[in-house]
Amino acid sequence: MRRLALFLFSLCLALPALAADATRPERKEVFGDVAVHYSAFTSSMLQPDIAAATGLTRSKNQGVLNIAVIKAGKPSTAVVSGTVKDLTGRSSPLSFKQITDRGAVYYIAQFKIEQAETLTFDLNVEAGGISHPLSFNQEVFPGE
């Protein structure tokens, strides 16, 4: 599981596997002492054992949204919800699951990637009883 935590953390902080939102190159939003790190990528990038351990489906047409919440410099639990919307306005709910490993906490959800397009992610991250809205766009591409 340590390998899983390291992999997910690396993706969340350092790997904009798909084109990033140019207005937020760090893939992070800060709300006072709460920092929300986010990353979206094609699930085919996951190693089979990592996908199995997290219950994710590996597919060139499935994306993964990874959220990590840091409060006062430490990993924090949160309630994460949201939707993903395509350019036609078609919206789909995101179903997040919490993954905890050796003190690290991640929230992951899968979404469909039907074609190369720009998706809008509208999220709500509730940490410490306070809701933090977060919205970003990301261009996605079906994997290989």
Write down the residue that tokens 């039907």 correspond to. Answer: 114
What value, to the nearest 5°, has the Cα angle with vertex 55 and ends 39 and 12? Answer: 15
pLDDT tens profile 88-111: 999 999 999 999 988 899 999 999
| Domain membership of residue 15 as a residue range | 2-140
**Could you report the per-residue pLDDT of 42-78, keeping only the tens digit for each?**
999 999 999 999 999 999 999 999 999 999 999 999 9
Q: How many domains does the chain have?
A: 1
Contact yes or no for 121/138 (Cβ under 8 A): yes
| Coil/strand/helix, residue 79 | strand
Token pair belonging to 53 = 């351990």
DSSP code of 15? -
What's the burial of 87, exposed, middle or buried (CB within 10 Å: 0-12/13-18/19+)?
A: exposed
CATH number at residue 109: 2.60.40.3340
